[in-house]
């Protein structure tokens, strides 16, 4: 996942380039329209910040480790409680 700051910087760079190219042209509203279009596009992607992703990843890793430990413990208890064959 990508950080929102990347997209903000991308929008700023795109905006400055459009300003340079379209200065004094009849298409002065193009930058505003492109920014709005990009904002809608990125909002629909349902992105999350990298920090949130990393936190969730660590929580999942801890949960998986705890689950593996509990599964081993249950297997050990079941083995102890089995009647001898």
Q: Are residues 1 and 13 in the same domain?
A: yes
Using the predicted structure, report yes or no on whether residue 1 has a pLDDT greater than 60: no
pLDDT at position 27 is 61
Q: Are residues 1 and 42 in the same domain?
A: yes
Using the predicted structure, report yes or no on whether residue 77 has a pLDDT greater than 70: yes
More confident residue, 5 or 85: 5
Which pLDDT tens digit goes with each residue over 5-54? 777 777 787 777 777 766 666 565 777 788 888 888 888 887 888 999 99
Region 68-73: mean pLDDT is 98
Phi then psi dihedrals of residue 80, to 5 deg = -70, -35
Q: Are residues 4 and 15 in the same domain?
A: yes
Q: Are residues 1 and 36 in the same domain?
A: yes
Token pair recorded at residue 71: 């599964």
Rounded CA-CA distance 82/26 in Å is 85
| Among candidate residues 47, 45, 11, the one with its CA nearest the CA of residue 31 | 11
Domain that holds residue 32: 1-47
For residue 8, the surrounding DSSP H or E stretch is: helix 4-22
Q: Are residues 25 and 7 in the same domain?
A: yes
- Does the pTM of the predicted model rise above 0.75? no
């Amino acid at each position: 996942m990508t950080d929102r700051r990347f997209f903000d910087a991308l929008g700023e760079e795109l905006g400055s380039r459009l300003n340079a190219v379209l200065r004094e042209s009849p298409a002065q509203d193009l930058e505003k329209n492109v920014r709005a279009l990009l904002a809608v596009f990125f909002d629909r992607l349902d992105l999350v910040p990298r920090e949130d992703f990393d936190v969730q990843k660590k929580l999942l890793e801890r949960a998986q480790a705890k689950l593996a430990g509990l599964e081993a413990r249950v297997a050990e208890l079941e083995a102890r409680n089995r009647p001898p064959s």
